[in-house]
Structure 1
Amino acid sequence: MDALFASLALLRLEGLGVGSYWQLIERFGSAEAALQQLPPNFSRKLPDRARAQLAEFQHNADDSELGQWAQAERARCHEQGTALLHCESPEYPTLLKEIRNPPPVLYVRGNPACLSLPQVAVVGARRASRAGLDNALAFSADLSAAGFAITSGLALGVDGAAHQGALRCGGERAGKTIAVLGTGVDRLYPRRNIKLAEDILANDGAVVSEMPLASAPEAGNFPRRNRIISGLSLGVLLVEAAVRSGSLITARLALEQNREVFAIPGSIHNPLARGCHRMIRDGATLVETSADIVEHLGGMLSAMAQQPGLFDDTVEAAEVSLPAEQRAIIRALGGDPRSIEQLARDTGGDTGDLMAALLHLELDGLVEQWNGGYQLTGSGARTLNTLATAE
């Protein structure tokens, strides 16, 4: 009986979670030894079904329910090209092994070596603003170009933008990105991001889970998934998040795991900035550019931040010559959302002309509608910075 087979069988025991698994390992030394124990020796009361499973396994391991499932799971993974990384395997990521109750077994589609690359997790709201999506895309592209793999959860919103940013980092090859799922790796979720997952795999990235094959997207799986996202990474970047959100859970887990946590500040009027502000008060590092993160993490990757143009805050849109009325709107918006009435007052323009100028800016991706008013997108904020620098 090898360690992987024993761990799969033990984890399949009815009512046994990852926390209980590690308690048994601490007490008995290995999954193999735990499986040979009588039910009364377990530190918790086992359900009747688990007692029957254990007795059957001890009587005939290979032909028992647990044994047959473990063998079938390995065969299914082999057929699908999914790697199984046991926590004692040399390929198992070292950083993840350091967290409390790490996954005993990881399922990996794609390149398992990605899991040992230096990683930055980028997380945030599913219903992010356009500015939040722009920031996730731009920060991830820059960090990927600097040599970091980008880790996130394949969710809609910020997660998806982070993966896309890594894939679009520029240069001859796309950057590496890792998607950590709350489902089986053969059951991609959400379905709207299946194409994104395929792009990740096509560009030598990885899709990872601790869940058995075919596991459904149950609500309880995602907090467990979040500890893996932060556990794999040197640091976590929080882009946008409400005060009560899964992204904030990931950031708090990162602090508990002694990982670096970075947060992008936002407008005090934006409810999706409040989670970032809360984390900054709790010890996260406020960042304005991706260079802040590279410099903070230090080492060889920090030196790459000095490469000319790598972390340039300007974008093509910022260098376009804008009409005076559009420049005035961008300056009036500044860092906070503004209503039409406020913009009309601040710019002194006619309402009809103002609406036409806003439409042009919206089509150019520089402003977006938000909570009954308008705010700058990430590209708009960089345009504002360029205008301020030129003055």
Structure 2
Amino acid sequence: MQQGVGLTETQNKTDELFTWLRLAAIPKFGAATYAKLCHRLQWKSSDFFSASHAELLSVGFNASQIDAILHPDSEGIQKSILWLNGGNNRFVLNLEDSAYPPLLKEIASPPMLLFGYGDQSKLVNLQIAIVGSRNPSVSGKEYAKSFAQNLSQCGWTITSGLALGIDGFSHEGALLAKGTTIAVLGTGIDNIYPKKHRKLAEDIITGDGVIISEFAPMSAVRPENFPRRNRIISGMSRGTLIVEAALKSGSLITARYATEQNREVFAIPGNINNPLAKGCHYLIQQGAKLVTCIADINEEFNDLEFNTKVTNSSKMKKNSIECLATDLLLDSVDFEATPLDIVAERSGMSVSEVMSQLLEYELRGLVTAVPGGYIKLGEK
């Protein structure tokens, strides 16, 4: 008897998955339309596929949508099912699943389905998104990694897009803190992109993180899918931190989605001559909060409790940097590569004194040596 119940439950889950895969394949049919029709017609998900051509036409479906409903892409659906059954750490969540991220469900156009690798329960974690340039400066890389690491230690889950640059360093920072990080793909779930980040993707999964995509296995790579990916990144998160971004970039699209979703937007300022700071400065002018330490982020969430030791340490570092602002040697190093002889000339110190002092500052994380000189890192 028990065995029969188990078989029935398994069949019900298979039927439900098949239904949602068919729903997700309907062209130009999203969650908002689905919810409206279900409310108006008192339909369940399966009712869409028991309706006649005339009924579907009467409720507003067009010819291509009706064709997709009545003649589903069985081959594509089978590929998704084969992918799901191809490993123990895979899952597919539909919009009505209890494990579906609640914050994501609140946005205007949540994905009908989420395909994923890893522990799906982590999708309900408290998340903050960190995104930015694919070609960041040395300072940008340091900020992304250190902010992600410190925010992870406070209790945040770090969500980003697995892209080169800021996204990748953000995931790495979370892993350094042994925290949870979630990567959202703009490609089919079986296509880790960029390929350079395959090892990072493996580290995310082995580190109890999650990789998700709204795009089914074998989906073609399309440029327009990446902006769609960005709405998921911001949609699952309480806030979005932009580390570095040009004025025309995907990061600003993510920030716009966050604003539309009534989520917090944070931006790290930079050198006014750095093109990668222009996007952050624009966001700050538009109302994003200027961020210099993690305390600037955490204080915006009075309803949450954080690891106060990490937050207070961040405040102390910030105060320390503010005191160092009058340090002539540190003030002689720019946020772009500054030659050693220029630093010595500006500070009035000998080259040997400068090298000795900058070594100490490098150990404290205030500067870093790069080809051509030193770069000031500021507060982490």
Match of 2:57 among 31, 37, 40: 40
For the residues of structure 1 that align with 2:352 and 2:58, how far apart are their CA atoms? 79
State whether residues 181 and 189 of structure 1, in contact with CA within 8 Å, keep that contact through their aligned partners in structure 2.
yes
Displacement of 1:346: 1.8
User: Which amino acid in the other structure matches residue 86 of structure 2?
Assistant: E
Secondary structure at 1:4 match in 2: helix
Identify the match of residue 23 of structure 1 among 21, 33, 37. Answer: 33
**Matching of residues 360-375 of structure 1 within 5 Å:** 366-367=367-368, 375=375
Separation in structure 1 between the aligned mates of residue 362 and residue 218 of structure 2, nearest angstrom: 42
Report matched runs for 1:204-219 at 5 Å.
204-219=208-223
Q: TM-score, structure 2 length as denominator?
A: 0.81
Letter matched to residue 46 of structure 1: A
Shift of 1:340: 7.2
Aligned pair 1:246/2:250, yes or no?
A: yes
Deviation at 1:314? 5.1
AA matched with 2:376: L
User: Within 1, Cα distance between the matches of 2:274 and 2:198?
Assistant: 30
Correspondence 1:167 to 2:175: yes
Inter-CA distance 354–115: structure 2 relative to 1 (3 Å threshold): same
- Which residue does the alignment assign to 1:8? 21
State the distance in 2 between where 1:285 and 1:158 align: 19
Cα shift readout 1:111-147 (whole Å, capped 9, x = no counterpart): 0011100001011111001111111111111110111
**Secondary structure, aligned partner of 1:79:** coil
SS in 1 for 2:269: coil
Q: Hey, what's the Cα distance between the residues in 2 that align with 1:167 and 1:189?
A: 19
CA distance in 1, matches of 2:29, 2:354: 56
Alignment check: 8 A CA contact 1:107 1:209 kept: yes
Q: Which amino acid aligns with 2:333?
A: L
Q: CA deviation at 1:248?
A: 0.9
Match of 2:240 in 1: 236
Equivalence map 1:1-391=2 (5 Å): 2-13=15-26, 16-19=27-30, 22-28=32-38, 29-35=43-49, 36-38=51-53, 40-41=57-58, 43=60, 45-47=62-64, 52-56=67-71, 65-67=72-74, 69-81=76-88, 82-169=90-177, 174-302=178-306, 304-306=307-309, 310-311=313-314, 329-333=329-333, 343=343, 345-348=345-348, 366-367=367-368, 375-377=375-377, 381-382=378-379
In structure 2, do the counterparts of structure 1 residues 342 and 43 end up closer, same or farther at CA, with 3 Å as the change threshold? farther
Whether the 8 Å contact between 2:163 and 2:194 is mirrored in structure 1 is yes
Q: CA RMSD in A?
A: 3.3
User: Is the deviation greater in 66-75 or in 112-121?
Assistant: 66-75
The Cα of 1:282 is off from its aligned counterpart by: 1.2
SS at match of 2:216: coil
Q: Could you report, residue by residue, the CA deviation over 1:246-266 in whole angstroms, capped at 9, with x for unpaired residues?
A: 011101100100111111111
The whole-number CA distance in structure 1 between the counterparts of 2:359 and 2:28 is: 55
Which amino acid is the alignment partner of residue 267 of structure 2? A
Q: TM-score, normalised by structure 1?
A: 0.79
* Runs of 5+ consecutive residues of structure 1 not aligned to the other structure: 57-64, 319-326, 384-391
Instruction: Give, in whole Å, the separation in 2 of the partners of 1:263 and 1:40.
Output: 48
Task: Check the 8 A contact 1:189/1:217 in 2, yes or no.
Answer: no
Alpha-carbon contact 1:291-1:305 (below 8 Å) kept: no
| CA shift for structure 1 position 290 | 0.8
Query: 3-state DSSP class of the match of 1:301?
Result: coil
Distance 1:182 1:6 in 2: 24
Partner Cα distance (1:55, 1:238) in 2? 44
Which is worse superposed, 335-344 or 227-236? 335-344
How far apart are residue 297 of structure 1 and its match? 1.5
Question: Deviating runs (4+, > 6 A) in structure 1?
Answer: 352-365
Whole-Å separation in 1 of the counterparts to 2:123 and 2:141? 25
Q: Measured at CA, do residues 5 and 313 of structure 1 come closer, stay the same or move farther in structure 2, by a change above 3 Å?
A: farther
Shift of 1:183: 1.3
Find the aligned partners of 2:361 and 2:295 in 1 and give their Cα distance. 28
Moved more, 132-141 or 71-80: 71-80
What is the aligned partner in structure 1 of residue 8 from structure 2?
Answer: none
Structure 1 residue 101: deviation in Å?
A: 1.0
Counterpart of 1:17, as a letter, is K
CA gap of 1:223–1:257, structure 2 versus 1, over 3 A, is same
Question: Using a 3 Å threshold, how does the CA distance of structure 1 residues 271 and 114 change in structure 2: closer, same or farther?
Answer: same
Percent identical: 38
